[in-house]
């Protein structure tokens, strides 16, 4: 677990793969890796259209593909079952949109890094008390870097990641405000590039993100 925490602190960017066709995931991940991305989140489907087991299979496939070169985790984790599926698939971290104490504690029992979503000081401290390793400030984009700076001042003992509305143009400002990392969704441009097989474009945008953040 400590190794995963260290990698998140070092790499600072978690790319969020949501609604990506499973047959396109390997190529997407490889392009991101060539661009310098080392952390990727595959999201569970809260609507239930994609079974949890299918998402877990995608995580397992990526874990096998990269063999530790890129750390793979799960996103939109809302249940303890999804935590266990992620563990079985070889995932390394659990990201949720909310503060669910059962999910946080199950993540700890499974030896996975817990990153629940919170926005207010009360939510953030509740997540920390439940055992969260990082706090995903979400959705933080509309509130901006000043909000992150204000929150970090009294809660400097918490590890915050800025997620939701974070991209190339503003990622650095959130880090400068006190966030220790950022979560960024695969952009519409990258999805279009993936659909037409333009992996070089995805790699180039990933490299630009890495350079902006580091």
- Helices and strands, counts by H and E, the chain: 10, 9
**Which residues have C-beta within 8 Å of that of residue 15, sequence separation ≥ 6?**
32, 37, 39, 40, 41, 183, 184, 185, 186, 206
Q: Which of 12, 87, 136, 191 is flagged as catalytic?
A: 136
Q: What is the dihedral of CA 26, 31, 33, 38, to 10 degrees?
A: -70
Contact 12, 181 (CB under 8 A): yes
Residue 75 φ/ψ, nearest 5 degrees = -120, 170
Site of tokens 């600072």? 12
Q: Which of 11, 12, 41, 203 is flagged as catalytic?
A: 41
Residue 93 β-bridge partners: 113
41 in active site: yes
101 in active site: no
Q: Which residues are catalytic?
A: 41, 136
């Amino acid at each position: 677990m400590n190794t995963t925490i260290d990698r998140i602190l070092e790499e600072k960017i978690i790319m969020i793969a949501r609604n990506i066709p499973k047959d396109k995931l390997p190529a997407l991940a490889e392009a991101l890796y060539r661009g310098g991305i080392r952390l990727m989140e595959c999201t569970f489907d809260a609507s239930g259209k994609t079974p949890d087991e299918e998402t877990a299979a995608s995580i397992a496939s990526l874990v096998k593909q990269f063999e530790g070169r890129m750390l793979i985790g799960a996103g939109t984790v809302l249940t303890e079952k999804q935590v266990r599926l992620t563990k079985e698939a070889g995932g390394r971290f659990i990201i949720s949109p909310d503060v669910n104490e059962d999910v946080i504690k199950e993540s700890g029992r499974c030896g996975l890094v817990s990153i629940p979503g919170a926005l207010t000081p009360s939510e953030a401290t509740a997540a920390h008390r439940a055992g969260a390793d990082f706090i995903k400030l979400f959705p933080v984009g509309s509130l901006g870097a000043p909000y992150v700076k204000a929150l970090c001042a009294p809660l400097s003992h918490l590890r915050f990641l800025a997620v939701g509305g974070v991209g190339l143009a503003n990622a650095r400002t959130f880090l400068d405000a006190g966030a220790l990392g950022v979560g960024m969704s695969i952009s519409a441009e990258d999805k279009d590039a993936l659909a037409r097989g333009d992996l070089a474009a995805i790699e180039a945008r990933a490299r630009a993100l890495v350079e902006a953040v580091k």
